[in-house]
Structure 1
Amino acid sequence: MSTDDKRIREFAYQIWESEGKPEGQEARHWEMARKLAEAEALAPKKSPKAAASKAAPKKSADAKPVPDKTLNGKTAAPKTKAKPAAASKVIPPGEKAAEKKPRAPRKPPAI
C-alpha cells in the first residue's frame, strides 16, 4: 500500500467518523478523501529555511525597541490573537455539551 493510499484511508475514516459513522457511504467517503489527499499533495510545501526565516529575530539585551510609524513614533504593544472560549472544547456530533452551573456571587469581606 502506497503512502497516498494510506493518506486516503485516513481521510476517509475521518470523514466517516465526522458524519456519525453512517453505513453504505464508503464510495462517497473514499472519493472525498481522494480529492483531499490530491489537494494536499498539490499544495506548496514550506521548506525548513522558509519557516526559520519567518520566525521573529532574537533581541539582544541592549537592543532598543523600534518605533512603530503608525503610532506617531511611539512603540506599539505586541499583538496577540485571542482564541474564542468555545475553541478549546470541541464536542463530537451526537453528544450534548455539559451545562455549567452558574457561580454563586462572592460575599463582601467582613470588616
Structure 2
Amino acid sequence: MSNDDKRIREFAYQIWESEGKPEGQEERHWEMARKLAEAEALAPKKSPKAAGSKTAGKTTTTKPAASKAPVAKPGTAAKAKPASAAKVIPPGEKAAEKKPRAPRKPPAV
C-alpha cells in the first residue's frame, strides 16, 4: 500500500467519524478523501518559519530589555481555532445557515 493510499484511507476514516459513522456512505467518503489527498499533494510545502515553529529563527538566549508596557499574563489571550477545526461540508451540500441573534432585553430595574 502506497503512502497516497494510506493518506486517503486516513482522510476517509476522519470524514466517516466526523459525520457520525453513517452506513452506506463509503464511496462518497473515499471520493472526498481522494480529493483531499490530491489537494494536499499539490499544495506548496511550508518552510519551518512559515509553519510558525517556535524555534525557527531564534539565535540568542538573552532576555529582552525591560519596557514600560504592561505584559499580558500567560493563558489570558484568546486562542484561535486551528484550521482543521472547521467542519467538512461534503460537495453538493449547503452549509447550515446561522439564525440571527435576538436583541437582549434591558435589565429590569
Q: Provide the TM-score with structure 2 as the length reference.
A: 0.51
My pick for the range that moved more, 42-51 or 21-30, is 42-51
Cα distance in 2 for residues equivalent to 1:49 and 1:82? 23
Structure 1's unaligned 5+ residue stretches are 68-73, 85-111
Query: Which residue is equivalent to 1:31?
Result: 31
Runs of 4+ in 1 over 6 A off after TM superposition: none
Q: Distance in 1 between matches of 2:18 and 2:69?
A: 46
**Cα–Cα, structure 1 residues 16 and 46, in superposed 2: closer, same or farther, change >3 Å?**
same
Over aligned residue pairs, what C-alpha RMSD do you find?
2.9
CA distance in 1, matches of 2:28, 2:2: 21
Deviation at 1:58, TM superposition (A): 4.1
Q: Mapping of 1:82-101 within 5 angstroms?
A: 82-83=78-79
* % same residue: 73
Alpha-carbon distance in structure 2 between the residues aligned to 1:37 and 1:29: 12
Q: Aligned residues, how many?
A: 74
State the shift of 1:59 in Å: 5.2
Where do 1:1-111 residues align within 5 Å? 1-48=1-48, 51=53, 52-53=56-57, 58=60, 60-61=62-63, 63-65=64-66, 75=69, 77=71, 81-83=77-79
Aligned AA (2:62): S
Structure 1 residue 47 displacement after superposition: 2.9
Give the drift of 1:81: 3.4
| Bigger radius of gyration among the two | 1
Runs of 5+ in structure 2 lacking a partner?
81-109
3-state SS in 1 of match to 2:62: coil
Q: CA deviation at 1:9?
A: 0.3
| Secondary structure of 1:17 counterpart | helix
